Amino acid sequence: MSVPAPHGVWVRNLRVDYGPFTAVPHLDLTIPPGEIYGLIGPNGAGKTSTFRALATLLDPVHGEIFLGGRDARHDPEAARAVLAYMPDLAPLPEDLRAAEYLRFFAESHGLYGPARDQRVAACLEAVDLTGRQHVFCRALSLGMRQRLNLARCLLHRPKVLILDEPASGMDVAARASLKEALRAQAASGTTIILSSHILPEVQDICSSIGLLQNGRLVDSGETREVLLRQSHAKKRLRIRTAGSPENLLSWLYSPDALPAHAPVLRGDTVECQFAGDTEAQARFFTRLAGANLAVVSLEEIHSSIEEVVLRLASAPHEPAAP
């Protein structure tokens, strides 16, 4: 066994089953402390399953999990002391007020008296709910419920924060304040792992992301690099010509144009797919310039994060290994 990372999230060979169904066949994950990591993938990819296993709430079939340097499989109690988990559609007790709810959890973490009240006030402040502390939880709106749950997660200053779709139900202002709160947490050394279907948000908040498909991590790394890699896998070029686009189109159909293929006419520009590396791209440009087609610009189109996820979702559904 290799020496695990002392902090952050460290997962090896994780497998999660529901009865005969394997939701996550094999997952390795390393997230350094202070990182905000976004796990994205289509519905049913296994994000919630992974999170629940990380949060020691679901017994995986096998796998090693270290959270903040604590072994979550062998010593779940130690791991629970440093982690906070916010489930998707996190529940709230109907019979408590917002501040009472936070006080209950603060006391469960061993905070009493003025220390408790200060911490509760600080966490309410962090999620912008100070004015609502005397409102019954059942009377909060969806976004406020999410924020109150986030405040509960922050109470004990966790080293690892696991957030399942924290931004769902939040309005623009709330998402901005969520982003603020998460950045502040990460700056203090907390590792944050979150999932979200609001992709621009992910792109904006997360310093690194992982793409999950059928319970397997397809790609993982710094957000920009992952997006770049994913768009290189299926790069597209946009060519604008001052001459006739039809001529350009017919040249692109010729064997000269390879490895560019599948050109389409879009107004006065032509878009095509390109399946080659950077050198092939340079050679292609030289040939294009020599073909006398009055090309005025050649532009690379990056896939947006939406397109990447769409591709993941529409990829053939490979059955998980038994």
Ligand X SMILES: Nc1ncnc2c1ncn2[C@@H]1O[C@H](COP(=O)(O)OP(=O)(O)OP(=O)(O)O)[C@@H](O)[C@H]1O
Near another protein by CB under 8 A: residue from 6, 28, 104, 138: 104
Please state whether 90 falls in left (phi above 0), alpha (psi between -120 and 50) or beta: beta
Q: Which is nearer to ligand X, 91 or 290 (CB)?
A: 91
Residue 18 interacting with ligand X (CB under 6 A): yes
Residue 20 interacting with ligand X (CB under 6 A): no
Alpha-carbon torsion 228, 232, 236, 241, what sign? positive
CB 126 within 8 A of CB 151: yes
Nearest to 56 by CA among 93, 81, 19: 81
Residue 25 interacting with ligand X (CB under 6 A): no
Q: Which amino acid is at 45?
A: A
Residue 215 interacting with another protein (CB under 8 A): no
Near ligand X by CB under 6 A: residue from 1, 3, 21, 279: 21
Near Mg ion by CB under 5 A: residue from 48, 191, 213, 231: 48
Near another protein by CB under 8 A: residue from 131, 267, 319, 322: 322
Q: Which is nearer to another protein, 3 or 172 (CB)?
A: 3
Residue 64 interacting with another protein (CB under 8 A): yes
Question: Per-residue contact track with another protein, 2 to 31, x per CB under 8 A?
Answer: -----------x-x-x-xx-----------
Near another protein by CB under 8 A: residue from 112, 122, 125, 142: 112
**Of how many residues is the chain composed?**
322
C-alpha 129/C-alpha 117 separation (Å) is 15
Map the footprint of ligand X across residues 50-89, applying CB under 6 A: 88
CB 206 within 8 A of CB 176: no
Return the one option of another protein, ligand X, Mg ion, none that residue 21 interacts with (CB less than 5 to 8 A, by type).
ligand X
Residue 115 interacting with another protein (CB under 8 A): no
In the block, which residue shows the tokens 């603060």? 106
Ranges assigned E (strand) in the chain: 9-18, 21-31, 36-40, 62-67, 70-71, 83-86, 160-164, 191-195, 208-213, 216-222, 235-241, 260-266, 269-274, 295-301
Residue 140 interacting with ligand X (CB under 6 A): no
In the block, which residue shows the tokens 């623009």? 172
- Site for another protein (CB under 8 A): how many residues? 42
Map the footprint of another protein across residues 121-160, applying CB under 8 A: 152
Q: Which residues bind ligand X (CB under 6 A)?
A: 18, 21, 23, 41, 43-49, 88
